Amino acid sequence: MMRRLAGFLLAALVLPLSLAGAAQAEPVDTGHLKAELIAQTQAIAPGQTIQVALRQEIDKGWHTYWRNPGDSGEATKIGWTLPTGWQAGEFVWQPPEPQPAGPLVNYGYSGEVILPMTLTAPADATPGQSVTLRAAAAFLVCEEICIPEDALLELTLPVQGEPARPAGRWAQPIAQALEAAPRTADLTAAFQTGEDGLKLAVTGDALAGADMAESYFFPFDGAVIDHAAPQAIERGPQGLTLSLTPSYAFQGPEPPQVMAGVLKVDDAYYEIEAQAGPLPAEAAGLGPPMARASGGDGTGLGLPLAVVFAVLGGLILNLMPCVFPILAMKAASLAGHAHEQSAARRQGLAFLVGVLATFLALALVLIVAQAAGAAVGWGFQLQSPPVVAALCLLMLAVALNLSGVFEIGTSLQGVGTGLASRGGLAGAFFTGVLAVVVAAPCTAPFMAPALGWALTQSAPAALLVFAALGLGFAAPFVVVAFAPGLLSRLPRPGPWMDHLRKVLAFPMYGAAAWLLWVLTLQVGPMGMARLLAAAVVLALAAWLYGLSQARAGGVALKGGAAVLAVAALAAVLIPAYQTPEPAGAASGAVAELPYEPYSAERLAELRAQGAPVFVNFTAAWCVTCQVNEQVALARQGVADALADTGTVYLKGDWTRKDEVIAAELARHGRAGVPLYLVYDRAGAAPVILPQILTEGVVVRALEAAASAG
C-alpha cells in the first residue's frame, strides 16, 4: 500500500514537469538563423487539432523568404515525417516585408518570424503516451549573398485524455501570429490591363475611410507583376485602385483571369482574389493618399489644423525670396495711398480678391489635373517653358513701366490729388494675381503639410485650404491698408515717390533675369536666345508706346507698339520648345557637393546596402530650393559630413515635369518642392528635414542617420 501511494505521488510530481517541457525542443542553429518547432499547447488529445509553428530567429542583416519570394529567392519549406494518422497543415504565412535588392524587390522576413500550422492527432492516439514529430525545414538565408540552410527539427507532445488548452511559453506568440496573418473580408476585387498598365481595384466596407497611404499588393504568383515597379495608389469612396506594372504572365496568349494575393491597407492585411473584368467606380476618384513618413508631413492634420497651417504658411510666404519683386509693387501702391484711407482700403480689398481668385484658380487646375491622372503639384505652372517665358516678358514689362519707359494709368506723382479709382482697383487686383503666380516657386514653412493634405481630400476641403493660404498671403497688405496709423507715418506724395518707383523696378528686372535662367535650364541655349530676342522686341514696343504717350496723335506709334508686343508674346508661346535630353546629373546643380541623380532603383540599392542616404528633391524655378543650396547645402561642413558619414547624396530634379518625382512627393505628403529626406543605416522611415535649411540642421541629420542601428 505504501509503495503504491509513493508511486502515485511520484507520478503526480513528474507529470506536470513532463508536460511543461513536452512541447519544448532545442533550437537548431543552421548558420545564419535558429529554427525550432513550437506548439500552442503543452499536450494534445486524440482527434484534437492544435496550432504548431516553425519559428525562425534570423541573424541581424539576413532574411528569409515569403511564399512568393519576389524577383529572386526561394520560399521557406517544411516536410513532415509523421506517425500514421497524424496530419499537419500548410503554413499560415505572415505578412511579408518588401526587401529591395538593387533593381529587384523581394518579399520575406527578418528578425523573428513564426509560421503557424495545424496539427491533428488521430482519433486512436493513446493517452498517456508521447509522440515525437519530425520535420525537415529548408531555408534560403540572404544578406549580400544567399546561403541554402537546412534543419532537422523535432517536437515531442504528450497525448492526454482531455483536449489541451493553449498554455506555455509559445501560446501567446502563436496566437499573435495567427492574429497578424492576412485575413479574409467581404471585399470585391477586379483587375484589367490596358495602355496605362495593370489596374487592381478593391472595394468593400472594410476599406471605407482607411488610411491608404502605404497600401501594397503582394501577389501569390511571382509572374503577374513587376515587383520593383512602384505601386501608385488612388483612393475611392469605398476602396482603392493600384496601378501596377504587368510582368511576363500577361505576355502569353492566355493572360491570367484570376490574380490572388495579400493587400496591405493601413495596418491590416487582407487575402484577396481579383477577377479579370471592369473596375468598380467606387475604387477611384479621390486622388492619391497621404504618406505616413516622419518629419512633419500632413498626415492626420484634419481640416481645422490644415486651415491654420495654410494661413501661417501664407503669412510666411510673404518673406520668401520669390515674392520680393511683388513686394516692390505693393510698396509702391501703398506709398501712393498713404494719405487717402478710403482709396487704400479699396486697394487692399482688390488685392485680396486678386490673391484669392488666383489661389482658387490654381487649386481648381490642380484638382482637375490630378483627377485626370496627371502628376502635378504646387508650382506646376513653372514646369511649362511657354508659361515661364511669358512670365519673364511680363516681369520685364512691369519693370519698364516702373522705370518710366511708358505709363499705365496715373503716374505715382500727384497720386494723392486725383486717382482713377477704377484703374487703381484693377491694378491692385492684377498685383494680387501676379503675386500668387510668382509666389508659386516658393514653399514656406507650414505650407507643405497643408497643401499635401489638401490635395488628397475632396474638392471643397482643398479649396478651403487654398483660400486660407490666400488669406494668409494677402493679410499683411490688407492689414496695412486698413491701418490709418501705419499709413499716416509715410511722407506726403511728392517727387520722392518717382525715385522710389524707379528703384523698385530693379527687383522686377531681377525677376525677369531669374525666369530667363529657369527657361535656359528647361530648354537649353536656343530657348534662351528666343526669349532674349522677344525681350528686345518687347522693350522696343514699350519705348514706342511711351513715345506715343508723350506726343499728340501718336496712334500709329501705339499701333506699332501693340503689333510688336503681340509678336514678342507669340515668339515665346509658339512654336513648341524643344526640350533637351536630361543630363546625367540634375539641371542647375550646385557644383560644390558631389551627388548622384535620384532614381527609386538607386535608392533601393543603397538602402539594401545599409548606406545612409540624403535625398534632395529640387527644381531650378524653386527659389527656396536655390537659397537652401547656397546658404545650407553648398557649405564645407555639409561636404565634410557627407564624406565622414559615408552618406550618398541623391538629387531629384523637378524643373521639368517628372511623374516619378511627383509620385514620390505625394507619397511623402507633399505637393511641391523642396523636400529633403534623410535615410539612416537601420532602414527606418526617412526623416523629413525643414523646408528652410541651415548647415547645422543638415549636418546633425546626417550624423544621426550614420549612427543609427
Which comes out higher in pLDDT, residue 432 or 80? 80
Whether 63 has a pLDDT exceeding 60, the answer reads yes
Q: What is the pLDDT of residue 13?
A: 42
Boundary-marking domain end, from 283, 314, 343: 283
The CATH number covering residue 99 comes to 2.60.40.10
Q: How sure is the predictor about 326, in pLDDT bands with cuts at 50, 70 and 90?
A: low
28 contacts 149 by C-beta, under 8 angstroms: no
Using CB atoms within 10 A of its CB, is residue 657 exposed (0-12), middle (13-18) or buried (19+)?
Answer: middle
Report the predicted TM-score, pTM, of the whole model to 2 decimal places: 0.45
* Inside any domain, residue 514: no
* Inside any domain, residue 632: yes
Q: What is the mean pLDDT of residues 475-493?
A: 71
Whether 429 has a pLDDT exceeding 80, the answer reads yes
* Inside any domain, residue 5: no
The CATH number covering residue 226 comes to 2.60.40
Whether 21 has a pLDDT exceeding 60, the answer reads no
Are 95 and 160 found together in one domain? yes
Question: How do residues 535-552 score in pLDDT, each as one tens digit?
Answer: 999 999 999 888 888 776
Q: What is the pLDDT of residue 338?
A: 57
* Inside any domain, residue 536: no
Q: What is the mean pLDDT of residues 34-47?
A: 94
CA–CA distance, 294 with 479 (Å, rounded to integer)? 36
CA–CA distance, 618 with 72 (Å, rounded to integer)? 34
Whether 87 has a pLDDT exceeding 70, the answer reads yes
Between 385-402 and 525-550, two packed helices, what is the crossing angle to 10 degrees? 30
Are 318 and 461 found together in one domain? yes
* Inside any domain, residue 4: no
Are 213 and 80 found together in one domain? no
Q: How sure is the predictor about 143, in pLDDT bands with cuts at 50, 70 and 90?
A: confident
CA–CA distance, 155 with 144 (Å, rounded to integer)? 33
Nearest to 376 by CA among 384, 366, 385, 386: 366
Residue 644 domain boundaries: 596-707
Q: What is the mean pLDDT of residues 259-265?
A: 93
Are 334 and 424 found together in one domain? yes
Q: How sure is the predictor about 254, in pLDDT bands with cuts at 50, 70 and 90?
A: confident
Are 422 and 345 found together in one domain? yes
Are 496 and 602 found together in one domain? no
71 contacts 104 by C-beta, under 8 angstroms: yes
Grid cell locating 421:
479709382
Are 95 and 215 found together in one domain? no
Mean of per-residue pLDDT scores for the chain: 80
Question: How do residues 661-699 score in pLDDT, each as one tens digit?
Answer: 887 887 887 777 889 999 998 888 898 888 778 888 899
Are 276 and 222 found together in one domain? yes
Boundary-marking domain end, from 128, 161, 179: 179
* Inside any domain, residue 229: yes
> Checking DSSP bridges between strand 33-39 and strand 97-101, what pairing results, if any?
unpaired
Comparing 187-196, 229-238, 480-489, 627-636, which segment has the lowest mean pLDDT? Answer: 480-489
Are 222 and 258 found together in one domain? yes
Are 107 and 205 found together in one domain? no
Comparing 90-94, 174-178, 237-241, 416-420, which segment has the lowest mean pLDDT? Answer: 416-420
> How many domains are contained in the chain?
4
Boundary-marking domain end, from 215, 250, 283: 283
- How distant, in Å, are the alpha carbons of 209, 261, 371, 454 from that of 204? 11, 16, 22, 25
Q: Do you know the residue count of the chain?
A: 709
Whether 340 has a pLDDT exceeding 80, the answer reads no
Are 174 and 196 found together in one domain? no
Are 207 and 273 found together in one domain? yes
Phi, psi of 666 (to 5 degrees): -65, -35
38 contacts 163 by C-beta, under 8 angstroms: no
The CATH number covering residue 615 comes to 3.40.30.10
Which comes out higher in pLDDT, residue 322 or 450? 450
* Cβ neighbours, 10 Å, residue 267: 10
Q: How sure is the predictor about 583, in pLDDT bands with cuts at 50, 70 and 90?
A: very low
* Inside any domain, residue 204: yes
Q: By three-state DSSP, how is residue 583 classified? A: coil
Grid cell locating 13:
510530481
* Inside any domain, residue 402: no
Q: What is the pLDDT of residue 427?
A: 74
Q: What is the pLDDT of residue 412?
A: 34
Q: What is the pLDDT of residue 440?
A: 62
Whether 565 has a pLDDT exceeding 60, the answer reads yes
Question: How do residues 618-644 score in pLDDT, each as one tens digit?
Answer: 887 676 787 788 778 888 888 889 999
70 contacts 106 by C-beta, under 8 angstroms: yes
Using CB atoms within 10 A of its CB, is residue 543 exposed (0-12), middle (13-18) or buried (19+)?
Answer: middle
- How distant, in Å, are the alpha carbons of 273, 461, 467 from that of 370? 29, 15, 19
